[in-house]
A and B are shown apart, each in its own frame.
Chain A
Amino acid sequence: MALVKQQGGFIILLTFVIALALMMIPIPEWAEASRPQWLIMVVIYWCLALPNRVGVIVAWLTGLVLDVATGSLLGQNAIGFAIIAFLVLKLHLRIRLFPQWQQALSILILVALYQIIMLWAKGFTGQSSQTWAYWLASITSMLLWPFVFTVLRGVRRFYRVR
């Protein structure tokens, strides 16, 4: 079996940058809690599609950048991203075969787990002033997953990222 040459690293980086920008774009106050977790969704996608390229370490570094961008505790998002990436790498063969609605459900569980880790880190530093609205982000992420998945798959096929 011939070794497949890696290409398109720049495209992967670009999708990360766009997702990070989407995490920072100002939206009205009432919608802020329900902002989808774009960055973790993009990380999950690349872990599913190219588990040999995007793994725990890339996810950890991405999380670290998100920590700085959102002004949260350094390492908080990093550990969340790393754990989610680890789980996705374990399950990627299974999740890939799911129909899209079932995939979206697994995204709901993964993002909710990520939010639990964030809540735990916040609780430790005494910032937990959470309401039920906190969990809206998981639901919007689930609803937007088919969209994110289709777009990223298109991008991956068009630029032949592998």
Chain B
Amino acid sequence: MGILSIALMVADHRQHHIETIRSIISVVVYPIQYLVNLPIAATEWMGDSLSSRETLREENERLRMQHLLFKAQLQKLASLKVENIRLRELMQSSKKVGENVLIAELLAVDLDPFSRQIVINKGANDNIYMGQPVLDAEGIMGQIVHVGPFSSTAMLLTDSNHAIPVLVNRNGLRAIVVGTGAPDQLDIPYLPNSADITVGDLLTSSSLGGRFPPDYPVARIIGINFDPTQPYATVTAEPIALLERSQEVLLVWPAEKIATTEDEDRNAANKPDLKNNVTNAP
């Protein structure tokens, strides 16, 4: 028994061959997770249906204003996007634009308190894949680490096992953002003391690892300590995404991934079509 568990642990840690075992067991676990989530979902539903007409009207008003604002910004974006593509064609660079997104809900269950992970209510049935980027309305939250048929687990940016390649938005300086295990703190190791970086700098994803889509906000620098006796500066940042507060998350299919999934879909015709449950990002 002990040898079997140690073999399992090694296999799980070194490579991901036994993901299938995990996904089979996750089918058993999902109903329990669903049950645990139920009272929380119910209170939320009650709150929604009992909220007064006044609050609803106010919220409606606010959302309408926001919608108008975003629409105006979007108009500009559309023309900018076309211009961007044209310029890129002129420069003959082949950067792809356009990603598909899907909205998933968080299940209110607690995992290991010393790792930063969340469970969402979409799984392999919705074409979720390992390593898929997870976003919220503000920025990148993390990536999918386990996929079950009906649910999957995502690792947040703040998990101490997570790292993401980023660019400093102001000057394009490359860096890596590493989680610390604390709920609102990220580390940026290996930046030399001479690096051009200041408090308040926005870090965006660089897509260098080929896993995250480019140009999404990731973190903001909150502290820098240049110590001449140390080889590297101590730089800390806070995540932009509301990691501890989000109710819904966005799952993104980067542009290249869409092509491959559609190929797979053509091969396995009984799988649900990606386009049916995926809304196209603007």
Query: A-side interface residues toward B, CB under 8 Å?
Result: 17, 20-21, 23-27, 29, 32-33, 35, 56-57, 60, 64-65, 67-76, 78-79, 82-83, 121-122, 124-127, 129-130, 134
Question: Given A68-B25, A71-B112, A74-B18, is A20 in contact with B5 using a C-beta cutoff of 8 Å?
Answer: no
A79:B2 contact, CB within 8 angstroms: yes
A74:B12 contact, CB within 8 angstroms: yes
Leading 5 A-B pairs by shortest Cβ distance? A75-B8, A79-B5, A32-B113, A75-B5, A74-B12
For window 90-125 of B, CB contacts with A under 8 Å fall at 108-115, 117, 119
Q: Which among B12, B22, B114, B119 is the interface contact of A130 at CB below 8 angstroms?
A: B114
For window 179-202 of B, CB contacts with A under 8 Å fall at 180-181, 183
Q: What 4 new A-B contacts, CB under 8 Å, besides A26-B108, A72-B112, A121-B9?
A: A68-B26, A68-B29, A69-B29, A71-B146
Our count of residue pairs bridging A and B at CB distance below 8 angstroms stands at 109
Q: Measured between C-beta atoms, what is the minimum distance from B81 to chain A in Å?
A: 38
Q: How many residues belonging to B are interface residues under a CB distance threshold of 8 Å?
A: 42
> Mostly helix, strand, loop or mixed at chain A's interface?
helix
B161:A127 contact, CB within 8 angstroms: yes
Query: B-side interface residues toward A, CB under 8 Å?
Result: 1-2, 4-9, 11-13, 18, 21-22, 25-26, 28-29, 32-33, 35-36, 40, 108-115, 117, 119, 145-146, 153, 160-161, 180-181, 183, 244
Report Cα–Cα, A69/B153, bound state, in Å.
Answer: 10
- Chain A residues with CB under 8 A of B12: 73-75
